[in-house]
Amino acid sequence: MATSWALAVTHLGLMERREQHTAADTLTLIRADQPALPGGASRWSGPLAIVLDLADGRLARHQGAVSLLGDYADTLADAAYWTWLTLRHEPSRTVRTAAVAAWALPVATVTGIANRHRKAVVDPRRG
């Protein structure tokens, strides 16, 4: 929950134009907040996260446009959810550390750079 909150607080600028949010954006945000939702910690949460991730990507491509929020939020949702799941359920300290390094550290780094420069880090794939 704390990770989802921190990501939302540091990336609120992406949510300025709510009228431009798509159904795919909604699925992405649900995935990010899944741990905080009723039943979010069930044994089905992992498969549901995968289904939501595939569905939001397919829906965004079908609609022909990926929103700025969706582009950023997809990675943030993955980081929030999979870090939470690993920290909550993985018994191996080594695997937990690797998960944080793989998911949370890059997000924290990019967020720190963006906050320092007071602008979003542009994804080089977007051109």
What single string gives the DSSP state of each residue in 105-125?
HHHHHHHHHHHHHTSPPPPGG
pLDDT tens digit sequence for 37-69:
777 678 888 898 899 999 988 988 888 767 767
pLDDT tens digit sequence for 13-43:
555 555 567 788 888 888 888 887 777 678 8
Task: Give Cα separations from 125 to 33, 41, 102, 114 (angstroms).
Answer: 26, 34, 20, 17
Quick one: pLDDT band at residue 4, thresholds 50, 70, 90?
low
Q: How remote is the C-alpha of 96 from its chain's centroid?
A: 18
Query: Hey, where are the domains in the chain?
Result: 2-12+20-126
Q: Is residue 42 within 8 Å of 90, Cβ to Cβ? A: no
